[in-house]
Amino acid sequence: MQQRRVPLHDRDGLSVPGGQPDDYSGGRLQRVTLDGEVTDVCTEVDGRPLRGPNDLVFGRRRRLLLTDFGKTARGRWTWAGLYYALPDGSRVEEMVFPLHQPNGVGLSPDGDRVHVAETGSGRVWSWEVLGPADVRRGAELLHGFSGGADAGFARGGLGGQRCAWRR
């Protein structure tokens, strides 16, 4: 596997990765087999290239939901979204677009709601799931932090949702 050089930035004496490498070729969802074979499953949705897919969750009936964080490069950032896919990539659809740096996705234990954490806005949104790739328009704001924060989801031991924030 080729090693990529990621730009580093000095933040209060710490070297922090960030920005987009000069040789960046786009985001992708990949399948990796136990013997190390890597296959691109998805590189775009509805003609819009993935920029930084970073979080996914599997639901019932082979449902795969993923967020694309987008990218920041040379002072510009790209909008991103929430997407639905079959694990083999034969079907990939946009569910919610645009979102501001979505960095976490979770399903309610019964699979009836999908939650997304936005890093840039510091918000957690929730939508009612209507079908495999469909949500009811009009998200419910579950929580909002001022100034944004890093976020992620996990499922607790009893099936409950956990959302962690780092400010």
Q: What is the CATH number of the domain that holds 77?
A: 2.120.10.30
pLDDT given for residue 114 in this prediction: 92
First to last CA, the chain: 33
- Asked whether residue 18 is domain-assigned, the answer is no
Say what the pTM is: 0.78
> How many domains does the chain fold into?
1
**Residue 82: per-residue pLDDT:** 95
Domain range for 87: 25-166
Q: Is residue 19 part of a domain?
A: no
pLDDT band at 36 (very low <50, low <70, confident <90, very high): very high
| 98: Cβ contacts below 8 Å, ≥ 6 apart | 79, 80, 81
In this predicted structure, the answer to whether residue 165 has a pLDDT above a threshold of 70 is no
Residue 137 within any structural domain of the chain? yes
Residue 55 belongs to some domain of the structure:
yes
Q: Is residue 160 part of a domain?
A: yes
Whether 15 is in a domain gets the answer no
Identify whether 8 is part of a domain.
no
Write the CB contacts of 134 (distance below 8 Å, at least 6 apart in sequence): 95
Q: With respect to residue 95, please indicate whether it lies within any of the assigned structural domains.
A: yes
Give 70 or 22, the one with higher predicted confidence: 70
Residue 157, pLDDT above cutoff 50: no
